[in-house]
Structure 1
Amino acid sequence: MTIALILGAYFAGLLAKQFSFPPLVGYLFAGFALHLAGFNLTADVQLIADLGITLMLFTIGLKINIKDLIARQVWGSALSHMGLWMIACLLINGAMGALGLLLFDLTMLETAILIFALSFSSTVCVIKVLEEAGEIRSRQATISVGILIIQDLVAVGFLVIATGVLPSPWAVLLLLLPLIRPLLDKILAATGHGELLPLAGLMLALGAYALFELVSVKGDFGALIVGMVVATSPKASELYKSLISFKDLFLIAFFLSIGLSALPDSYMLFLASLLLLLLPLKFLLFYCVLSLLAFRARTAFLSALLLANFSEFGLIVVALSVKEGLLDQVWLVVLAITAAQSFVITSLLYKNAHVFYARLSPFLLRFQRQKATDSSTIQKVPGANVLVIGMGRVGRGVCESLERQGIEHVWGVEVDKHRVALLTDVGINNVVHGDADDYEFWEAQDLSTVRLVMLATPNVDEIINIIKQLRLAGFSGRIAAIAQHDDERETLLNHGADVAFNYYQEVGHGFAEESKHLFS
C-alpha cells in the first residue's frame, strides 16, 4: 500500500503541475482515486498526516509576531465574521425553508452545528497557498494567519464544551513557557547547522504536542505556542527552513487522507456542490468585515480570497458531533468533499489574485474607508536609480556591492516590517517597507528615475507576479532576477526578466572575485 500511495501522490501532483495547478490539487484527487481503487485510510497514514499538521503549526508559530496576533483588527475580524456567518446562513436556511426549497431535513441544532463547522477556514490550505506564492511574510499572510489562529481557539473552546473535558489545573503552568526561551536559545545555538537542527525542531514540536495533551489541552495548539516562543530566537529562520521539506512531505498524507477516509455517492457529491455555493458569501463577509475595520482594499481582498474555503477543523467539529449523536455520519463525508473542493478553488484563484485585484481595484477602492491605515501603508522611495526587492542576505549583499561600485541612490524594498526595523537599527536607512506584489505600491512610486529593479527573492512565482505588477504600473526600465535552477532561469526570461542569474553560479563567481587578491 505504501508504494501505491507514494506513486499515486507523485504522479497526480506531477500531472497537476503540468497543467499549472498547485500540486495539492493532485494530492486531493489522488486520495479519492486510490480509495476508488480499494485503498482505505490506515492508522499509519493518519499518523503522518497528524504529524504534518503539528509541524505546520509549529512552523507557523516561528513566523508569528505576537503583537500582530493581539491586534484588535485581527481578533475583531475573526469573531465578527464568525457571528455574521452564523446569522446570514441561518437566515438563508430559514428563507429556503419558508419557500419549501430545502433539500435536506435537519433540526435547528443540526443546522447550527453544520453552519458553525463551515465558518472555519483551512489553515493547511492557506499556508500552502501562501508558501507556493512566496507570500508567507506579506500583510495578507499576517492577517489571514491571525484570523485562523483565533478560529482555532474558538474550535478548541467548542471541543472543551462538547466533550466536557476541562483542561487540567496544571495547565496554568503553560503560561510560564516564555520564561524558558533563553534556555531554548542556548539549546538551538549549540545544535549547529546540520541534521541536528531539524531534529531539534521535531523534538520541540512533538514535545510541545505531548506536553499540552498531558494537561488536556489540544496538542497542535501547543506546537503553535512553542513555535511562537521560539520565533524571536536568532535560529528561528534557519530552523524554519530546515523543517519545510519535512512539513511539506508529511502534509501530502493529510491531503491524501481526505480522499482515503470516505468515498461519496452521487447524493453526497450533490450536497457538497450545494455547500460550495456558500463560498462567495464567505468571501463577501470577510471582505466587508476587513474593509469596515479599516484595512486597505487590497489587503481585504487578498485576505478574503485566502480565507474563502472550508476547514479541516470543521471536519473535527462534525466528527465529534457524529460521535455524540448530534449529526448523521453522511455529513462528515459531505463536509470532507466540500472542504477538498474549496481547497482546489482557493489554490486556483489565488494564483492570479494580484492580477484580479489590479483589474478590480478601481471598483474596490470605492469601498475603502478614508481612514484605511493598516500597517502596510505605502512608503515612497525618493529618487531611486536602483531598487532591490527583498532585503534578506542576498538583497543586502546586492546593495553593498552596488554601493562599493559607486552606484548612487540604491534603495531596498522589504515586505517584512520587522526586518526593516532591524536593518534601520544597524544603520541601513536606504530601505522601505513595501509589498512588491502590490500594484498600488508601484503605482505610488515615481518610476521615472528608476533604471533597474533587482528581484532578490527566492520564489519564482512571486518574481513573475512582481514583473507583471511592474509592467502594469508602466515601468519601462530593466529587470534582473535570481533563480536557483536553470529551468527557473529560462522561465523568468520568458516572463519578462531582462537578466536572470543562477543563484549558485553567482555565489561561486562572487567567492572567486572576493578571493583572487590572495594570489598576489
Structure 2
Amino acid sequence: MDFAFILLAFIFGLGLKLLRLPTLIGYLLAGFVLNYFDFTASDALKNIANFGITLMLFTIGLKLNIRDLYKKEVWLGSISHTLIWVTVINLVLIAFSWIGLNLFTSLTWTTQALLAFSLSFSSTVCIVKILEESGEIKTRHGKLAIGILVMQDIFAVLFLVVATGKIPSIWALALLLLFFVKPIWSKILDSVGHGELLILSGFMLAFGGYELFELVGIKGDLGALIIGMFVATHNKSTELSKSLMNFKDLFLIGFFLTIGLSQLPNLQLTLSALILCLFIPIKFMLFFKLFTALKLRARTSYLASLVLSNYSEFGLIVVALLVSLGWLTADWLVILAMAVSFSFVLTSFVYKTSHNQYNHLKSRLRVFEHATILPEDMHCQPINAEVIVIGLGRVGKGAYTSLHSIIGNKVWGMDADPVRIKMLKEMGLQVMTGDGEDVDLWQNMDLTNIKLVLLALPSTDDICNITEQLQHANYKGKIAAIARYEDEIEPLLKAGADKVFNFFTEAGTGFAEESLQLITKQP
C-alpha cells in the first residue's frame, strides 16, 4: 500500500511537471485516485503530513522578521480582511439558504458565520510552496503574504482555544523564559557545523518547540513557528532553512495525499465545493482594495492578493472541530476539503503567469494606488552605475566584490531581501533593495548608462522573467546569467541572456586557473 502511494505521487507529480504545472496539484490528484480505489490514509501517512506542516511553519519562522508583523499593512490588513470577509460571506450564505440550495438550507446563522470564518484563512502550505518555487518568499509581496498568514494562524489558534474550551496551562507563562535561553541554542548552532548535525538540530528545534507548546496546552504548530522566529536572527538561519527544505517538501507530499484520501465526493458535494470557489474572486478583490488603501503599490497589492486567494488547511481543522461538536454535518468536511483542493489548483495555475498579468493590467491597476506610497516601496536610482548584479547570495556577492575591485563604484548590487541589503550596506557595499521582476522598477530607472546586468539567481524562471522585463524597458546592454545545471543553459539563452555560466563548471574552471598560477608564476 505504501508503495502505491509513492508510485502514484511520483507519476502524477512528474506528469504535472512535464505540463509545467506545480507538482502539488499532481499529489492532490494522486490522493483522489487512491481514494477511488478504496485506499485510506494510514496513521504513518498522517504523521508524515503533520511532520511536513510542523517543519514548514518552523522554516517560515526562520525567514520571518517579527518587526514585519508590526507593520500596519500586515496587522490591520489581516484583521480588516477577516472581519469584512466574514460579514460579506455570511450574507451570501444566508441568501443561498433563502433560495433553497441543498446543504445551505440546514445552516443556522451561527454555523453560517463559523463556516465563513473557516473560509477566511489562506493556505500556508500552498502559498509558501508557490513562493519558494518562484524564489519570491523574501520579496515585498512575499513577506506581506507571509505576515498575513502568520496573523491568520494566530486567529485560528485563538478560535480553537475558545471553541474547545482548552485553556492553556498556567505553565504557559514559563514560555516567556524562551527569551533567556536563546543564547544557549545560539551556541549550539555555532557548534554543530554544516553537516548532518545542523539538520538534526533543525528537527530538534522544530519538533521540540511543537511538543513544548503542546505540553502547556497551546497548539504545537504555533510553537514550531515561534521557535523558528527566535532562531531567525542567528547567522545560520538561512543555511538551516535550505538544509531542511527537501525534508519539508517530502513530508508535505503526505499532506496533499491525505486531502485527496479524506473522502470520495459525489456530484452534489462537488457542486457545493465549486460554489464555495466562486467566493475566491471576492477574497482577491477585498485583499487588493485593503492593500492599496494602506498605501501599498498596485504591483505589491496585486501579487500578494493573488497568492492569498485560496482556502486553507486551517479551515479544514476548524470545520473538523465543528463536525465533532455536531454543529455541521460530515458532508461539510468533504465539501471544504474539495474546495481547498480546487483553490490550490486555481492559485498554482493563475500565479504562474502573475507577473505577465500585472504587465498587461498595470495601467488599470495603478488607478487604485494611493497618492502617497510607503517609503520602503519607493524605487532607488543607482548613481553612475554601469553594471548591476541582481541577487546577492554567495555567488552574486562574490561577483559584486570582484567587479568592485576592478571598476569601483560603477557596479551596484540589488536584492529583493531588505534585511540582506541592510547588512550589506553596513559592510560598505553599494547596494539597493529591488525586485528584478518588477517592471515598474525598470521603467522608472534610467538604463541609458547600464552596460551589463548580471543575474545571480537560483531560479531559471526568475531569470527569464527579469530578462523579459528588461526587454520591455528597452534595455540595450548585455545580460549574463548563471545556471546550476547543464539543461538550464539553452532556455536562458533563448530567453535573451547573452552569456550563461554553469555555476559548478565555471567555479571549477576558475579554481583550476587560479591554482595553476601558483606554479606558473615567473620568479
- TM interval, shorter chain, is over 0.9
How much has 1:103 moved relative to structure 2?
6.5
Deviation sequence 1:377-429 (CA, Å, 0-9, x none): 2111223211110111111111122233347611111111111111111111x
Task: Please list, as runs of the form range in 1=range in 2, the aligned pairs for 1:126-165 lying within 5 A after superposition.
Answer: 126-165=127-166
Aligned residues of 1:295 and 1:373 also touching (Cα < 8 A): yes
Judged with a 3 Å threshold, the aligned counterparts in structure 2 of structure 1 residues 144 and 335 are, in CA distance, closer, same or farther, namely same
**AA of the residue aligned to 2:69:** L
Return the alpha-carbon distance in structure 1 between the equivalents of residues 369 and 243 of structure 2.
40
**AA of the residue aligned to 1:177:** L
Return the alpha-carbon distance in structure 2 between the equivalents of residues 103 and 46 of structure 1.
29
Judged with a 3 Å threshold, the aligned counterparts in structure 2 of structure 1 residues 139 and 309 are, in CA distance, closer, same or farther, namely same
How much has 1:494 moved relative to structure 2?
2.1
Question: What's the counterpart of residue 462 of structure 1?
Answer: 462
Task: Please list, as runs of the form range in 1=range in 2, the aligned pairs for 1:394-413 lying within 5 A after superposition.
Answer: 394-406=395-407, 409-413=410-414
How much has 1:456 moved relative to structure 2?
0.4
Is residue 471 of structure 2 the alignment partner of residue 475 of structure 1? Answer: no
How much has 1:473 moved relative to structure 2?
1.6
Question: What's the counterpart of residue 120 of structure 2?
Answer: 119
Deviation sequence 1:447-473 (CA, Å, 0-9, x none): 111111110011111111111211122
Aligned residues of 2:93 and 2:104 also touching (Cα < 8 A): no
**AA of the residue aligned to 1:442:** W
Question: What's the counterpart of residue 428 of structure 2?
Answer: 427
Judged with a 3 Å threshold, the aligned counterparts in structure 2 of structure 1 residues 90 and 54 are, in CA distance, closer, same or farther, namely same
Task: Please list, as runs of the form range in 1=range in 2, the aligned pairs for 1:71-470 lying within 5 A after superposition.
Answer: 71-98=71-98, 104-105=104-105, 106-373=107-374, 375-406=376-407, 409-428=410-429, 430-470=430-470
How much has 1:38 moved relative to structure 2?
2.0
TM-score, normalised via structure 1 length: 0.98
Return the alpha-carbon distance in structure 2 between the equivalents of residues 406 and 37 of structure 1.
65
Q: Secondary structure at the match of 2:377?
A: coil
**AA of the residue aligned to 1:489:** I
Q: Which runs of 5+ in 2 are unaligned?
A: none
Return the alpha-carbon distance in structure 2 between the equivalents of residues 297 and 102 of structure 1.
40
How much has 1:294 moved relative to structure 2?
1.1
**AA of the residue aligned to 2:306:** L
Return the alpha-carbon distance in structure 1 between the equivalents of residues 514 and 138 of structure 2.
32
Return the alpha-carbon distance in structure 2 between the equivalents of residues 504 and 413 of structure 1.
23
Aligned residues of 2:379 and 2:441 also touching (Cα < 8 A): yes
How much has 1:238 moved relative to structure 2?
0.9
Deviation sequence 1:81-137 (CA, Å, 0-9, x none): 000101111222334455566773121112111111100000000000000101111
Q: Secondary structure at the match of 1:500?
A: strand
Return the alpha-carbon distance in structure 1 between the equivalents of residues 97 and 486 of structure 2.
59
Aligned residues of 1:383 and 1:446 also touching (Cα < 8 A): no
**AA of the residue aligned to 1:451:** K
RMSD of equivalent CA atoms: 1.3
Question: What's the counterpart of residue 486 of structure 1?
Answer: 486
**AA of the residue aligned to 2:275:** L
Return the alpha-carbon distance in structure 2 between the equivalents of residues 21 and 236 of structure 1.
30
TM-score, normalised via structure 2 length: 0.97
Count of residues in correspondence between the two structures: 519
Report which stretch shifted further, 117-126 or 84-93.
Answer: 84-93
Runs of 4+ in structure 1 off by over 6 angstroms are none
How much has 1:348 moved relative to structure 2?
0.9
Return the alpha-carbon distance in structure 1 between the equivalents of residues 67 and 309 of structure 2.
25
Return the alpha-carbon distance in structure 1 between the equivalents of residues 252 and 99 of structure 2.
43
Report which stretch shifted further, 62-71 or 85-94.
Answer: 85-94
Q: Secondary structure at the match of 1:448?
A: coil
How much has 1:374 moved relative to structure 2?
5.5
Question: What's the counterpart of residue 497 of structure 1?
Answer: 497
Percent identity over the alignment? 49
Deviation sequence 1:162-202 (CA, Å, 0-9, x none): 11010001101112212222111110111001111111100
Q: Which runs of 5+ in 1 are unaligned?
A: none
Deviation sequence 1:210-258 (CA, Å, 0-9, x none): 0000001000100000000000111111111110000011001111110
Q: Secondary structure at the match of 2:261?
A: helix
Return the alpha-carbon distance in structure 2 between the equivalents of residues 329 and 463 of structure 1.
47
Aligned residues of 2:78 and 2:151 also touching (Cα < 8 A): yes
Deviation sequence 1:318-347 (CA, Å, 0-9, x none): 000000001000000000000011001111
Aligned residues of 1:55 and 1:205 also touching (Cα < 8 A): yes
